[in-house]
Amino acid sequence: MSKELEPLADPGLPEHVHRKADTDPIAAKRAERQVAVLFSLSGAGTLLFIYSFFFYKRGNIYFRSNYGNN
């Protein structure tokens, strides 16, 4: 048995497969709207976090447990 390792063959990159949004203008517009909505949600969440960090008082934490006899 040989202790030398043989190099593996390079498999290369797989063939490129076009997405539906690459060829269909309606699908491209829908994908663009989805990305815009996700960016908007991200921005709104960031602003909500900043607002709550600075303006929400720490004593106003409400916790309601669904366990036990509360």
Q: What is the pLDDT of residue 64?
A: 65
**Distance separating alpha carbons of residues 53 and 51, to the nearest angstrom:** 5
Give the N- to C-terminal CA distance of the chain in Å, as an integer: 72
Place of tokens 């303006």: 55
1-21 per-position pLDDT tens digit: 567 888 888 888 999 999 999
Q: Which one, of 11, 32, 37, 10, lies nearest residue 21 by Cα?
A: 32
pTM above 0.75, yes or no: no
Place of tokens 């309606």: 26
Q: Which one, of 29, 6, 27, 8, lies nearest residue 18 by Cα?
A: 27
20-66 per-position pLDDT tens digit: 999 999 999 999 999 999 999 999 999 999 998 888 776 666 666 66
